Amino acid sequence: MTRKPLIAGNWKMHKTIKEAEELATGIRSQLQGFEKVDIVLCPPFVALHNVYKVIKNSTIKLGAQNTFWEKEGAFTGEVSVPMLKDCGCEYVIIGHSERRKYFAETDNMVNCKIKTALAEGLKPILCVGETLQEREANKTIDVVSRQLQGGLESIDESGISKIVIAYEPVWAIGTGRTATPNQAEEVQKFIRDWIKNTYSSAIASGIRILYGGSVKPENINELMKEDDIDGALVGGASLSVASFVNIVKNSIT
Ligand code: PGA
């Protein structure tokens, strides 16, 4: 099955509302009508709606970087899935390694968030990946399978087919040290096989598995040549119009 590439920009905690609007405007003007790749912009919560106003009526989609699993209530500081949808979101990143590391998110919390997102019609981008220490201890596959198992607990076939998975080795995030295409492919293939064994071949061949970690205009093309890399989750290089646009354009193999 041919899977349409997806490139998502994770702006993390960068950009004021004005800066976010400018970045989105630049990206929109250069990628208007570029339909070979699905493009998702994930600004900080406070800029979501303004970015939505810039990209609506284009093919570019909006995503959030996180969500809470309850729909409303006394949860000071949290943002719910219905609120994200109200801002124009179609996607939500769940379980990013920075959330797991700095905010103690567990696989169980990730699972709760995925369930709420799916129930309310938001598409989760589930992040998995090992730390350097885990890789060096040959635990990569154990860690990734535990994250898949825990994050996708009791998600059925109709749920999984709406999910995008992002393999992001923690040691490659923000470090300039990209995984080699072979290193990434090894884990991406493991993930697809895991989906095949847990669900079905048809689901495994349709699901998009992104790579994330120091993706740049210079390395995206080599990564995309691998069979199981269907796009990228881009952090630092998504913060300027030129580098993000070039990543999108160079992702076509
Ligand atoms: P990076 O971040 O591209 O800056 O390495 C990727 C990510 O954390 O999603």
Give the pLDDT confidence of 180-205 residue by residue, as tens digits: 999 999 999 999 999 999 999 999 99
Q: Which of 105, 134, 168, 226 is catalytic?
A: 168
- Residue 226 bears catalytic tag: no
Q: In the 8-state DSSP scheme, what is residue 238?
A: G
* 235 Cα to the center of ligand 1, angstroms: 4
Substitution site in 42, 101, 214 for ligand 1 pocket (most atoms within 8 Å of beta carbon): 214
Separation between Cα atoms, residue 180 and residue 132, nearest integer Å: 14
Quick one: what percent of the chain has pLDDT higher than 70?
100
Substitution site in 40, 102, 165, 168 for ligand 1 pocket (most atoms within 8 Å of beta carbon): 168
- Tell me the mean pLDDT in the region 113-122: 98
- Tell me the mean pLDDT in the region 121-128: 98
Residue type at position 250: N
Of 162, 167, 47, the closest CA to residue 96 belongs to 167
Q: What is the pLDDT at residue 1?
A: 61
For residue 158, count CB atoms less than 10 angstroms from its CB and return exposed for 0-12, middle for 13-18, buried for 19 or more.
exposed
| Coil, helix or strand at residue 212 | strand
- The three state secondary structure string of 120-177 is HCCEEEEEECCCHHHHHCCCHHHHHHHHHHHHCCCCCHHHHCCCEEEECCHHHCCCCC
Q: What is the pLDDT at residue 2?
A: 84
Please determine, for residue 229, whether its predicted confidence score (pLDDT) is greater than 90. yes
Q: Which atom, in ligand 1's list, is nearest to the CA of 173?
A: 5
Q: What is the pLDDT at residue 32?
A: 84
* 212 Cα to the center of ligand 1, angstroms: 6
- Residue 96 bears catalytic tag: yes
Contact status, residue 222 vs residue 249, Cβ threshold 8 Å: no
Q: What is the pLDDT at residue 10?
A: 98
Substitution site in 218, 223, 234, 238 for ligand 1 pocket (most atoms within 8 Å of beta carbon): 234
Q: What is the pLDDT at residue 253?
A: 87
Give the pLDDT confidence of 145-168 residue by residue, as tens digits: 999 999 999 999 999 999 999 999
Give the pLDDT confidence of 50-108 residue by residue, as tens digits: 999 999 999 999 999 999 999 999 999 999 999 999 999 999 999 999 999 999 999 99
Cβ < 6 Å from ligand 1: which residues?
10, 168, 173-174, 212-215, 233-237
To the nearest whole number, what is the mean pLDDT of the chain?
A: 97
Global pTM exceeds 0.95: yes
